[in-house]
Each structure stands twice: as structure tokens, then as C-alpha cells.
Structure 1
Amino acid sequence: MVECEFYTPARKEEWDSFVLDSKTPLFIFKRSFMEYHADRFVDASLMIYEDKVLVAVLPGSRNEKVLVSHGGLTYGGLVLSQKVKAETVLESVQALMLFAKDNGFDKIVYKAMPYIFSRHGAQEDLYALFRVGAEIVRRDLSSIIYLDNRLKLSKGRKWLIARAKKNNLVVTDSQDWTGFIELLHDVLAKHGAAPVHTSQELELLASLFPNNISLRVVVAEEKILAATLLFKFGEVVHTQYLATSAEGKEVGALDHLIETCIQESASEGFKYFSFGVSTEDGGKYINSGLLAQKESFGARAMIIDFYEIVLND
């Protein structure tokens, strides 16, 4: 019998241990990462048991009567045990729906996990969603590079990288979280946006996950010309943020930074380099300039789907 229960802080060790041994052992699903912004989200994470054995967890948050997997995370969905099989996942999704309805939710918004983050086949949940009539309500276009089968750089990108090297620009690690956020704020402000994280939050997260989070920069005369925040997941290196100043753009600092990170990721044995999404307005609009930049490095598309389950029909 499959049953759902809400996560409680007393189960932190059980949750974290399960995540580390799951099909998708991403550090962003550990409680210390999920809870750094606990003031912004009402946690509604679930633990799913089959005959008292934990077989799945759902990082979740509550938005009024909507259960979201999870409002503060880019990726979500069920985190599955390595041993779990398709029939159990089908039962888990059905139990999830019943539990959510019994606890006052009208709807579930389910963020599917991109396949590159799984160390085993882990898409039983997508079949289960099909079986229960879930509908795709959003589709984002992300960009990834297969590091062992990479497409060639564009000529324009090669020229800018060569220019950066001619100016003796060097890529280094940094702990200047304040300078990074200031640069990022200036870049995003031009588009009417702002950084999701604060410098204090990034410093905290980097201290909690030093093997998974790093800040790479190009600096000249004590000024950050370009920077990227890297998240490392198993076989994937992901650029959480990319930013460059006007001066940095002129001398190819960001191009040199990105190419260096790609080459380092390949040499360190990673399989994928992920740039993240280039879509806006719930996936309905493509930022063509941003997408073209990623494609010029040899990246191509990967889809991130959002499903919706209406519980009161």
C-alpha cells in the first residue's frame, strides 16, 4: 500500500539520506538548500511510502490551494528511489493526488525533471502523469552541450575569445559575492528584472555546498568584467547566472569565461554543460538573442515541461 505524509523537520536526516541515494541525487533537493529561502515559500513537501518503506519524495510548496513542485526550484517532480518500479510510481502519483485533494488542494503543478540529471531511467512519473490525465501547461526551451560530442564554435565567438586572450584576460575563482550581485543587478535591471538571490544567500549556499557551487570571474583592475555562477550536479555543469559589464562585452570577457568553463567541465569528466532556459512568459516567448548566444557555443535544445493536475473535476 502506498501512502503520503507531509515532511516535518524531524525527518530531515531521512529525507537527505534518501535524496543522496535516489535516481536524481541533486544537492538542490537537500533540505539545507531548499530551506535557505523558507521565508518566501510555504513548504508542502511530501514523503511517499510503500508498506512503510520510503520510495519517493516530492519537494513541494503551497501557493494557496495549489501544490507546486517546488516554487523555489527550477526543477522538481518526484525524487525516486533507485529500486522503485513503474507500477509503484503509478500508485504513488495516484496517492499523491488523493492526499493533495484530502488536504485542501485544488491543483498540482508538477515540474518534470530533465533527463540529464538522472543517473538511472527516471521518467516513470511522466507516464503516470499521462495516465491520470495531466496536461502540459508550460514548456521552456533550455540549451545544453554534449561535452563528448560538441558542435563547433561560431566564427564570431572564436574571434571574441581570441580578443580576450590577446588582452591577457584570465578566468579565476572568486568569493566576491557582493561584486557579483552588483554586476548582475546592473545587467538584469536593463530588462526590468532583478537577481533571485542576494549576495548573503549565495555566500551561505556556497559555504554549505562548496563542491557544487562556484563563482568564476574575469577581473581587470579590480573590476569584475564577466562572471558566472556554476552549479555542479553529477554529470552536469549548469550556469545559474551569466553576466558581463559593457567593458567586458567589448573585450570578449564573457565569451572567454564561458569557453573556459566548458573546456574545464569536459576535462573534469562532466557529460553535459547546461545554459538554462531562453524562454519567457511561461515559455511562450523566445529570447532570440540569448538563445543565439548559447547556440554559438554549440548548445542545442532540451525541453523542461510543467504539468497541471486539476483535482476537483
Structure 2
Amino acid sequence: MKCVAYQAETQQLWDEWVASARTPLFFFKRNFMEYHADRFQDASLMFYEDDKLVAVFPASRRDNELISHGGLTFGGMLFSNKARADTVLAVFDALLEHARGMGCERIIYKTIPYIFADQGAQEDLYALTRMGATLVRRDLSSVIHLDNRPKLSKGRKWLIARAAKLGLQATVSSDWEAFHALLSEALQRHGAAPVHSAQELSLLQSRFTQNIELKTTWHEGRLIAGAVLFHFGQVTHTQYLATNDEGKEMGALDALIETCIRESEARGAKYFSFGISTENGGRTLNSGLINQKENFGARGMVLDFYEISIN
């Protein structure tokens, strides 16, 4: 088993591998990972057995740490459908040796939630345990299993009905500037800011037109709610949701989310993901935020971070 650093000349091979992996997520492709290359020191790795590619690892480096890429919410080792347990274990052994050779003292590994896998893909968790990895962080996310969705709460139904009476409709949009302004205003109340700029969102959408979608709701010429959706085949994920006081009162965001859920179901998706509701490295649960998601029928799913001590 041989481990080598990713090089630009292997971009096509990398992207083709991602597309055929058990976890074929578009944001592991280089045109997504490298839009913020100035913020992260890329340290992605490729693994070969008898000169045949068997795995890739989207990663970045920070001081003496090798990290499942710091610019992505999650992202572990990517294997093909043909990979078996012995191969996975050999890849992790090679990862450890390579990281040691880089002078790293630890590896931070972010696992990929089960809903994003096309088939069984948790051999990496066994490999981590065998290596003595420690669970250092666990975030709580929320997901709807669309084939077995709990009923909407009464309050949510009322707000959706209110929006319908007011004639509010969610439509596909490309007005990233207007949405970003709405999102920034909403996050500012909580002392936060969007991870992406409006220009970055527009750039990424132009690169992944089938995977990134902006849905907005307007009232009398004013934007009152919006959602950025990431489409991952069987999963639709809400990357950003935003509304203002006017939109809240009118039920605009509630109706928009319900529209997105139903459209995802019609598209053939199996899961609708809302993302995490935890803060402070997973130690604090934002009860109000997760309650909103649970009112739509979402239930818990964890995002785990493991630390492998190399020394």
C-alpha cells in the first residue's frame, strides 16, 4: 500500500474517484474544495495498492495536525464499492505512517454520516477503533427519513397554511446578493456570520448547477425567506436557511421548507437533512433551533470527530 500527496495533475482521476465512491459527495471534488484554497493548506492524500487507486482522503494541515479537510463539515476516507475490510485497514495503516513521516502528531478524522453512503461504508469506524482513536467531538444533526416521516406539529401546519392564504410562493432564484444580505442580518442577531460570501456561493453554484440551488420567497418586492440547498442524490441538505421578522410572522420560511421537502421527495430523495444544532464544539445544544427542525419531523443523527495520536 502506497500513500502519496494529491497533485493538481491528478484532478481528473480524483474527481472520477469521488463520483464513483460509496459516498459520492460533490463537495469532495476539487472545484469545490479549492474555492477557498487560500484559507487552508491542502494535504489531501491518495492511496494505491499495486499502482491501483483504492482510496482518497480529502484533508488539510494545520500546524502539527492532519485534518479531514478543514473547509468541509465532514469527510473521511473515500472508498469504492469494491473495497473490502482488509483493504480499508491497510489504507489506515498507510495513513498513519504517512502522517508520521509528515511530522504530524495527530490526525483529526471527521466521519461521514450514514445517510450519504450508497451502501455499507463504516469499515473506517472499525479501523479507527483498532488504531486507538478517541472520540473528541460529537455534533447533533437532524434528518427526516422521507419514507417514514413523523407528522408536522400543529404550529408548523398553521404557519404553512397562513403563508398559503397570503399567496406566498417559493421559487428558484439566482439573487445571491439579496439572499446573503438576508442571511447576514439573521445571523448577526446571534453574533455570527455566513461562512461563504455571496460571490463564493454564486461561483460554487455556477460550478455545480445540478447540486446547489437557491430558493427564495418574496412579498411585495421584498425578500422575506430563503434557503440554499445542497443536493447529494438521495439526500437534500439545507446549507443555509434565513428569514426576517416579516417572514416569520407570515410563515414564509416554514412554507418554503415544506415545499423543499416535498420537492425533494418527488425528486426521489430518501433523506432531508437540516444540519447541526450544536455549538461550542458540540457541547451545547441549541434547543430552540433543534425544536424547529423536529417540528418538521426531523430526528437526530450524529457527526463524529475522532483523534488519532501518532506518537
Q: TM-score, normalised by structure 2?
A: 0.99
Q: CA deviation at 1:50?
A: 1.1
Whether 1:61 aligns to 2:50 is: no
Write out aligned runs for 1:174-193 (5 A): 174-193=173-192
Write out aligned runs for 1:110-121 (5 A): 110-121=109-120
Residue 160 of structure 2 aligns with which residue?
A: 161
Q: CA deviation at 1:157?
A: 0.3
Separation (CA, whole Å) in 2 of partners of 1:223 and 1:124: 49
Residue 48 of structure 1 aligns with which residue?
A: 47
Q: CA deviation at 1:234?
A: 1.5
Separation (CA, whole Å) in 1 of partners of 2:222 and 2:202: 19
Whether 1:94 aligns to 2:96 is: no
Separation (CA, whole Å) in 2 of partners of 1:234 and 1:256: 23
- 1:184-222 Cα offsets, whole Å, 9 max, x none, are 100111111100000110101101101000000111122
Q: CA deviation at 1:268?
A: 1.3
4+ aligned runs moved over 2 Å, structure 1: none
Separation (CA, whole Å) in 1 of partners of 2:74 and 2:119: 17
- Structure 1 residue ranges without an equivalent (≥5): none
Q: CA deviation at 1:120?
A: 1.5
CA RMSD of aligned residues (A): 0.6
Name the amino acid aligned to 2:97: L
- Structure 2 residue ranges without an equivalent (≥5): none
Separation (CA, whole Å) in 1 of partners of 2:72 and 2:223: 27
Identity %: 60
Residue 221 of structure 2 aligns with which residue?
A: 222
Partner secondary structure for residue 148 of structure 2 = coil
Q: CA deviation at 1:37?
A: 0.6
Q: CA deviation at 1:53?
A: 0.8
Q: CA deviation at 1:311?
A: 0.7
Instruction: Count how many residue pairs are aligned between Structure 1 and Structure 2.
Output: 311
Residue 231 of structure 1 aligns with which residue?
A: 230
Whether 1:26 aligns to 2:25 is: yes
Q: TM-score, normalised by structure 1?
A: 0.98
Residue 143 of structure 2 aligns with which residue?
A: 144
Residue 242 of structure 2 aligns with which residue?
A: 243
Separation (CA, whole Å) in 1 of partners of 2:6 and 2:97: 17
Partner secondary structure for residue 147 of structure 2 = coil
Name whichever of 230-239 and 219-228 sits farther off.
219-228
